[in-house]
Amino acid sequence: MNMFKPSVLTLLMLSTPLTAGSTMPDKKLPPVEKILKRPQAANPQVVVVPTPDGRKGGVLSVWSVINKKGRVDGAVCRDKSAGTALCKAALAQKRPKRYKPAQTCSDQTDANGEVRSVCQNVPSYAEHIYLLYGENDNYEGGLYRRMTIPYPPAAWENGYEGEVILGGVVSPEGKLESIKVIKRSGSNMLDNAARKGAMGGIFLPNVKDGKPVWMKFRMPITFHLQDLDVQN
């Protein structure tokens, strides 16, 4: 996995379209393109639950659509390919009804010429990633979504490159319990950047014979200077 220098951690969303399913069908919710432009009110949460009927499960993402006051207007199942039954099962799960309102701030000059930071509440969204498993399911977990890790500026300036291999453990509940460097790159800056970045990743456990189980993984992260999108 090649890592390069972005301004923020990049999350690459699944390419499946938004479904029509919603917890509030009588309330018109914005299209997926507009939801994606909103800030996230909270970090994505992983939820591991059985399917209601014991049938084959899957992995899908549900977005809570949040208004300026922090109230949830409804929720949508993003992953149409998962099927209507799984979408309904995910939408039926309990989620927070309120969040701390998201804000955007900007510097503005008042009548006295003083610059002040002015903030206002804006619409946002929150994501829950559901791993629904059936009675006979077997699923190989791991990193759910690719991520981009910032290249350490000092390492780039000194021409440091290398591959870091991380090892980690994910609980049956989908929590990253531990992660460590098992092969060093030769640069502590690169090693630390890789571990710190991976700690913000979203991981899923294995499912074996219809039961979520602990999952161990190895993840290589390669820093290449020629891959940098240098920002001055």
Q: Which band of pLDDT confidence, cut at 50, 70 and 90, is reported for residue 83?
A: confident
pLDDT recorded at residue 228: 58
User: Which pTM value belongs to this model?
Assistant: 0.81
Q: Is the pLDDT of residue 231 over 50?
A: no
Pairing status of strand 102-109 against strand 115-122: antiparallel
Q: What is the DSSP string of the chain?
A: -EE---SS-EE---SPPPPS-BS-TTSPPPPHHHHHTSPBSS--EEEEEE-TTS---EEEEEEEEE-TTSBEEEEEE--GGG-HHHHHHHHTS---SB-PPEEEEEEEE-TTS-EEEEEEEE-EEEEEEEEEE-TT--B--EE-S-EE-PPPHHHHHTT--EEEEEEEEE-TTS-EEEEEEEE--S-HHHHHHHHHHHTTS-EE-EEETTEEE-EEEEEEEEE-GGG-----
Q: Is the pLDDT of residue 75 over 80?
A: yes
Per-residue pLDDT tens over the stretch 6-25: 222 222 233 333 333 455 54
* pLDDT average, residue stretch 172-200: 95
Q: Is the pLDDT of residue 80 over 60?
A: yes
pLDDT recorded at residue 5: 30
pLDDT recorded at residue 27: 65
Per-residue pLDDT tens over the stretch 17-69: 333 345 554 468 998 889 999 999 999 999 999 999 999 999 999 999 999 99
Token look-up 């000092």 returns 154
Token look-up 């909103």 returns 38
Query: What average pLDDT does the chain have?
Result: 85
pLDDT recorded at residue 19: 37
Q: Which band of pLDDT confidence, cut at 50, 70 and 90, is reported for residue 190?
A: very high
